[in-house]
Amino acid sequence: MGSLYTDVTENNPASPLNPLDPEEFRRQGHMVIDFLADYYSEVDKYPVRSQVEPGYLSKCIPESAPNQPESIETILKDIQSHIVPGITHWQSPNYFAYFPSSGSTAGFLGEMLSTGFNIVGFNWMSSPAATELESIVMDWLGNMLKLPQSFLFSGGGGGVLQGTTCEAILCTLTAARDKMLDQIGGDQIGKLVVYGSDQTHCALQKAAQIAGINPANFRAVQTFKSESFGLSPVELLKQVEADIAVGLVPLFLCATVGTTSSTAVDLLPGLCKVAAKNGMWVHVDAAYAGSACICPEFRHFIDGVEDADSFSFNAHKWFFTTLDCCCLWVKNPNSLVRALSTNPEYLRNKATELKQVVDYKDWQIALSRRFRSLKLWMVLRSYGVANLRNFLRSHVRMAKVFEGLISLDTRFEVVVPRYFATVCFRLVYSSDEIDGDDEVNNEINKRLLEKINASGKIYMTHAVIGGIYVIRFAVGATLTEEFHVRDAWKVVQHHANLLLSQIQD
């Protein structure tokens, strides 16, 4: 293997070691496994939010690629010195920001195997196992979620793994758009209207934009504190009727179960009724909260999904499957295929022509696709359904613990109901003004959060809901245990004490 590290020149193409030499792969692979195992052992010691300044890395890295090879030992040293400090440690047990990105050994190994095989599974033919395992696992998971049969392959629908919810929404929106344009004429795209709430993830607006929906025809229907910021069928209907009255065509509703800001839940049954009456496609985005719905006690949050057209959740958020892995089910796969299929000669093959197989390239934006089902399959098998439920429950239980700790400190309040494992809370400094001007409280909570995050001990992020700045505490990092949550609360209290004493000075 020495030859890889001898001088290589353009005119001396002496054969260096093959880049896939199995024994060198083995040697370096074991080194990186140990590197990562050590990383997990020590991840709780790093500042959770990276503390580097913009531009830090260009100071540590040469301006151009090396001409000569460098050893794995050198590279790993650089990763430890230069990359690790620039990472925000999403796998840290003290990570409570955004939503979790919950890794697991099984998810990691599935990704390794997929990367190792490195197949490009655009259609069945290109690697039958990739397509077939995906279809099987999507039915497994659909059953775990008690999705109606109509969403499963066994019931005429079907599931597909996308990279992200953004892609899932763009694909279903494109399918809905083309179905509608088939009915009303291809030149009517300017009349189509897309609906979400003011709490819907920005992915919807972006998807509408990419799909050529007139930006003026995007509706973020208002939600209210009195309804816990869930989209109400009454408000949707008002907007739909107003649009129809001016000659527009309602197209697509994205309803959310577990919004990004506050994990609010839109009221699916009523929303689906409004949509059905007006010929709209309903997509249910349960990116974060979908996982929890494998537990019987949480399943009710997606009641009504049977009347939607599509449903998605991100296994890479809170389901122990590494990024990226968004699970999408549709009732009518043909509408996806109608909008997204291409059939170039160079991909023609017998299995496709005999219509014996699913060709997932026609269910997504890209042609190429990784063997993502492998990691999901390994997560389901390695842990089993009972454990998976219990893991999720343990996160919810820890969020409840945190909520309990908040309630014991009268300086704080929980701002919206906690449904899952995310708590939205704030320090109430200016209590006389709770119902009036929130500016003072907002500013104080912003300062408090920045102090906490700058400490590096824990990491949380914020949202503004109904004008109120809230601190979000999202439990779900795989390594988090109850003592991390209790310690996190102490960090919050400590910085609140400091801040309040400074203000009062």
Any contact of residue 322 with a second copy (CB under 8 A)?
yes
Cα distance between residue 297 and residue 454, in whole Å:
37
Closest CA to 263 of 199, 317, 168, 319: 199
Q: Binding to a second copy by residue 170, rule CB under 8 A?
A: yes
Half-sphere exposure for 488 (CA within 13 Å, toward CB) = 32
Nearer to a second copy, 208 or 237 (CB): 208
Nearest to 108, CA basis, from 279, 270, 269, 322: 322
Figure out which of the listed residues 81, 86, 234, 269 binds a second copy, where binding follows CB under 8 A. 86
Residue 256 contacts a second copy per CB under 8 A: no
Minimum Å gap between C-beta 92 and a second copy is: 11
Q: Which is nearer to a second copy, 237 or 392 (CB)?
A: 392
Q: Which two structure tokens, joined as six digits, stand for 376?
A: 């999901």
| Segment contacting a second copy by CB under 8 A, of 231-239, 390-398, 415-423, 428-436 | 390-398
Q: Quick one: which of 464, 483, 486, 490 contacts a second copy (CB under 8 A)? A: 464
- Contacts with a second copy, 12-51, as mask; x by CB under 8 A: -x-xx-xxxxxxxxx-xxx-xxxxxxxxxx--------x-
Of 248-256, 299-307, 436-444, 472-480, which segment contacts a second copy by CB under 8 A?
472-480
Site for a second copy in 343-382 (CB under 8 A): 343-346, 351, 356-357, 365-368, 370, 374, 378, 380-382
Stretch that binds a second copy, among 107-115, 241-249, 277-285, 490-498 (CB under 8 A): 107-115
Binding mask 278-317 for a second copy (x = CB under 8 A): --------------------------------------x-
Q: In what order do the strands lie in the sheet with 468-474?
A: 412-414, 422-427, 468-474, 461-465
Compute how many residues bind a second copy; rule: CB under 8 A: 159
Q: Nearest CA to 239 among 250, 247, 229? A: 250
467, with CB counted inside 10 A (0-12, 13-18, 19+), is: exposed
Dihedral angle, C-alpha 272, 315, 424, 91, nearest 10 °: -170
Q: How far is the CB of 130 from a second copy (least distance, A)?
A: 8
Residue 320 contacts a second copy per CB under 8 A: yes
Single residue of 146, 148, 184, 214 touching a second copy by CB under 8 A? 214
Of residues 158, 163, 230, 258, which one binds a second copy by CB under 8 A? 163
Rounded distance between C-alpha atoms, residue 78 and residue 342, angstroms: 44
d(CA 502, CA 499): 5
CB of 430 to a second copy, least distance (A): 21
- Please answer whether residues 162 and 366 qualify as being in contact, where contact means their C-beta atoms are separated by less than 8 angstroms: no
Interface with a second copy includes 486 (CB under 8 A)?
no
* Positions of E strands within 183-248: 192-197, 218-221
Give the integer Cα–Cα distance in Å for 32 and 111.
14
What residues from 140 to 159 belong to the interface with a second copy (CB under 8 A)? Answer: 140-141, 143-144
- Residue-wise DSSP of 296-365: GGGGGGGTTGGGSSEEEEEHHHHSS--SS-EEEEES-HHHHHHHH----GGG--HHHHTT-S--GGGGSS
Of 6 and 407, the one with the shorter C-beta distance to a second copy is 6
